[in-house]
């Protein structure tokens, strides 16, 4: 029994050795074959329809003309990948070659979800992973814009968010873009002097005071109820602000024009109309 087990292990070890030897021989054959293959073409794959980096920029990095005609084993594909990844608009890059002499380049671009204009007039994007990205000369992304008292600096290169306020603004923008209703309704994010987040809607003149980025599910749920029940009854022009910064309540701040003020304004307008009419009538009296 013991001898059978030994032979079993010996056979398994031999099998692995044969397999490993086969891999080594195959790799040697590929390396030898590769040394004889000439680069005939470079194909670039750039998925999506928003192009922060165009093919011309990729060609400038890859230098296609310098690659065609060279042996594949003389081309450093890892260096090409590093050069592509150094571009701030490239999220990932893969470069590989086939035995037909074709080098293929696959590029994934960064996807901005927010544009920030900080209080020092620096303008930059924040991508879906929360990284700061410079603006592009090729394309302008239609994303939420955040401005106001935002101190988050930008050094011109891809970087993480450093301040808690900027992280809260990014978290809010990410939440809004993932909900089709709020993505259609919210047009802008504003940070006030108290460093609280306000939302500017597309419909209505109300400012929505969000406060911070905590309990977003609860806050936006309360806002939706307010939109459905309170605003249709009171009228869209009744409130100048909607405070949802407390997760368990919604506070509507009415415009300063009260019902009494409205009646007084109507009476003043009527009086002005009567006075105008009286002047007109008296001007028609002949001497």
CATH value at residue 137? 3.40.50
Of 109, 144, 161, the domain-final residue: 109
pLDDT in tens, 186-238: 999 999 999 999 999 998 788 999 999 999 999 999 999 998 888 877 777 78
In a domain, 174, yes or no: yes
Query: Are 136 and 242 members of one domain?
Result: yes
In a domain, 238, yes or no: yes
Cα 212 from chain centroid? 19
Query: Are 125 and 204 members of one domain?
Result: yes
**Which CATH number does the domain housing residue 52 bear?**
3.10.20.310
The pTM score is: 0.74
In a domain, 9, yes or no: no
pLDDT in tens, 127-181: 999 999 999 888 889 999 999 999 999 999 999 999 999 999 999 999 999 999 9
Query: Are 205 and 149 members of one domain?
Result: yes
Query: Are 174 and 228 members of one domain?
Result: yes
Could you tell me if 201 and 234 are in contact, meaning their C-beta atoms sit under 8 angstroms apart?
Answer: no
What does the alpha-carbon distance between residue 38 and residue 280 come to, in Å, rounded to a whole number? Answer: 95
Query: Nearest 5°: phi and psi at 123?
Result: -120, 125
Per DSSP, the three-state class of 131 is strand
Query: Are 120 and 231 members of one domain?
Result: yes
pLDDT at site 11: 60
Q: Quote the DSSP letter at residue 157.
A: S
In the chain, how many domains are there? 2
- Per the prediction, the chain carries an average pLDDT of 81
Cα 230 from chain centroid? 32
In a domain, 5, yes or no: no
Query: Nearest 5°: phi and psi at 226?
Result: -60, -40
pLDDT in tens, 224-236: 999 888 887 777 7
**Helix residue ranges, H only, the chain:** 2-35, 55-62, 64-67, 77-85, 164-177, 180-185, 216-225, 231-234, 259-282
Domain hosting 88: range is 41-109
Which is higher by pLDDT, 54 or 116? 116
In a domain, 20, yes or no: no
pLDDT in tens, 25-73: 444 444 445 567 888 888 888 887 667 887 788 888 888 888 888 888 8
């Amino acid at each position: 029994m013991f001898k059978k087990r030994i032979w079993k292990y010996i056979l398994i070890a031999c099998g692995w050795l044969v397999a490993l030897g086969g891999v080594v021989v195959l790799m040697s054959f590929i390396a030898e074959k590769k040394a004889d293959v000439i680069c005939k073409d470079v194909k670039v794959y750039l998925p999506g329809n928003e192009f922060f980096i165009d093919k011309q920029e990729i060609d400038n990095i890859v230098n296609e003309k310098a690659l065609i005609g060279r042996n594949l084993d003389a081309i450093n594909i890892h260096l090409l990948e590093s050069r592509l990844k150094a571009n701030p608009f490239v999220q990932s890059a893969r470069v590989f070659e086939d035995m037909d002499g074709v080098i293929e380049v696959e590029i994934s671009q960064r996807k901005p979800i927010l544009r920030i204009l900080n209080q020092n007039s620096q303008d930059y994007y924040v991508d879906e992973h929360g990284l700061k990205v410079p603006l592009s000369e090729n394309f302008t992304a239609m994303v939420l814009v955040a401005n106001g008292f935002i101190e988050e600096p930008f050094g011109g290169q891809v970087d993480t968010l450093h301040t808690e306020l900027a992280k809260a603004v990014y978290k809010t923008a990410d939440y809004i873009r993932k909900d089709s209703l709020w993505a259609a309704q919210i047009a802008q994010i504003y940070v006030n002097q108290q460093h609280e987040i306000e939302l500017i809607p597309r419909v209505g003149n109300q400012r929505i005071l969000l406060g911070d980025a905590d309990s977003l599910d609860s806050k936006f749920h309360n806002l939706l109820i307010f939109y459905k029940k309170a605003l249709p009854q009171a009228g869209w022009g009744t409130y100048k602000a909607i405070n949802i910064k407390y997760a368990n309540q919604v506070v509507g701040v009415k415009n300063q024009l009260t019902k009494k003020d409205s009646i007084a304004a109507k009476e003043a307008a009527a009086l002005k109309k009567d006075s105008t009419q009286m002047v007109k009538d008296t001007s028609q009296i002949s001497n």
